[in-house]
Amino acid sequence: MTKTKLEAKGSCGPDCEQWVKTLTIESANKVTFRYSTEQPGATSAIWQVSDKPFSSGSQMSPAQASQAPHVIASGALGQVPSPGHVSTFDINFAVFAPKTPTTPVNYWVFVVTKDGRANAIGLASSPVKVSYHAPSKSSVDLSGIPVDPPKPMPIQIDLQSFTVNVTNEGIGDDDPYLFVVAIYADGTTVKPLNLKGSSVRLDSPTKTHNNLGMDAFSDDPKTGKPYNIPSSIGHFEKGILPLPGGLPAQTARNLSRVTILVITMDEDNTSDSAANAGRKALVDNLQKELNAAIQSTTPPNIPAIQQRITDKIVAAVKKETLKDWWAPWGLFDAVDPDDFIGADFVTFSYAQIQNAGANGLPITLECKSSDGSYTINGRIRSK
């Protein structure tokens, strides 16, 4: 009997490995085989495929086995594995099998061992039968059914503490308040294949004056003392997606961004209505400017989107630009207008937030000018 064993790798699930002597395939692709041999004197081996039944038996000589009739394909396997070990190899059936068989086709695969002079030695392995037929008509073609849309990654932004480093009016005399804007330039509304129809999403609390819950009447804030930022102006939750459109996965995650912009003010005699109108002007104009930045970018120069967004945010935090945007609402037109202390922003990519996990990433914003210096600390994380 043959001292060489051959098997084909069957399909039994992603976590299962099954080796069989008969195999059915529905497409001409690569099939994996493994063999072992205990044939004395064997140093190398070849595989062969016959389109007619082939059996290895004692009635066949090594020469007959190595020159079996109807061999349609063969290949070298190199040095045989040592006794007790196996060696794997692939056969690409696309090389010799029809693309789509009109009737079922059978093939017999076997291994022939050779000695140091490249002569066949011993009996060929018992063949593995491979049956090839077209997919059954009962098979359902799912290629036209769209896949489920990707699930957004839920994220959480928390601005947690506010500290006065340098006062504007004097210790205990500042009346600070914040304009906070969270900007989402991610795959939810930014479509690289349809930039004209793309946009950013913005979140911004509407309350302005006294939104930190402290004022000069309470003799706060003290220099160097951190104060909790109310969740009503510092907490945001959203779902974000990588940029779509067939970009490489890592690129799509890196270009999907979340930005937190904070503008710090010190209340004086600007009216509540003017301050509220100024905040709305900031958000409306920022939305308009950022959308235009995306929509005017020429595909596929996606990184230019992020640069234009960054440029617009930088422009937004300049006092002169704020005056231009807010002039109709009189934010700086009072006899003793509210003071612009400073502004800062920080940007995180989808990849950074995802990689940080539940621990998240720190947020530090330094808002300072000649009129004072405030620090805001917080954290951004995936939920």
Average pLDDT by stretches of 10, the chain with 383 residues: 93 74 92 96 95 66 53 94 94 92 92 94 93 73 61 94 85 83 92 85 92 71 87 94 84 88 85 82 81 70 60 60 54 67 88 91 91 92 91
- Distance from C-alpha of 186 to C-alpha of 282, rounded to nearest angstrom: 21
Nearest to 329 by CA among 379, 288, 285, 371: 285
Residues 165, 362: Cα–Cα separation, whole Å: 19
- The tally of domains found in the chain comes to 2
182 and 270 both lie in a single domain = yes
Task: Give the pLDDT score at 144.
Answer: 57
pLDDT reported for residue 276: 84
> How high is the pLDDT of residue 306?
56
Contacts for 246 with CB less than 8 Å, ≥ 6 apart: 193
The verdict on residue 144 lying in a domain is no
Residue at which a domain ends, from 132, 163, 189: 132
Q: 236 forms bridges with which residues in the sheet?
A: 157
Residues 177 and 323 in one domain: yes
**Other C-beta atoms within 10 Å of 19: how many?**
17
**What pLDDT does residue 66 have?**
45
Classify residue 44: in a domain, yes or no.
yes
Structural domain contains residue 110 = yes
The percent helix, strand, coil of the chain (3-state, each to 5) is: 20, 35, 40
In angstroms, rounded to a whole number, what is the distance separating the alpha carbons of residues 124 and 62? 7
Same domain, 303 and 174: yes
Query: Are residues 192 and 96 part of one domain?
Result: no
Residue 318: CB atoms within 10 A of its CB come to: 12
Q: Are residues 177 and 90 in the same domain?
A: no
CATH number for 223: 2.60.40.150
Is residue 102 in some structural domain?
A: yes
d(CA 200, CA 2): 70
One domain for residues 116 and 233: no
CA distance 133 to 66: 28
Q: Are residues 365 and 217 in the same domain?
A: yes
Q: Copy the structure tokens of residue 276.
A: 């509220």
pLDDT value at position 36?
Answer: 96
What is the rounded CA–CA span in Å between residue 342 and residue 373? 7
The CA-to-CA distance between both ends of the chain, in Å, stands at 64
In a domain, residue 218? The reply is yes
Q: What is the CATH number of the domain that holds 77?
A: 2.60.40.2060
The domain of 51 spans 4-132
| Of 11, 81, 78, 12, the residue nearest 47 (C-alpha) | 78
Q: Which residues contact 126 (CB under 8 A, 6 or more apart)?
A: 2, 5, 6, 21, 55, 56, 110
**Both 101 and 179 in a single domain?**
no
Helix or strand run (H / E) with residue 56 = none
**Are 182 and 102 found together in one domain?**
no
Do 19 and 167 fall into the same domain? no
If asked whether residues 123 and 164 sit together in one domain, one would say no
148 in a structural domain: no
Residue with tokens 């009109």: 102
Shared domain for 38 and 120, answered yes or no, is yes
User: What pLDDT was estimated at residue 241?
Assistant: 93
Residue 90 lies in a domain: yes
Sign of the dihedral through C-alpha 60, 61, 62, 68: negative
Q: Which of 77, 102, 132 is the last residue of a domain?
A: 132
Separation of alpha carbons 163 and 172, rounded Å? 12
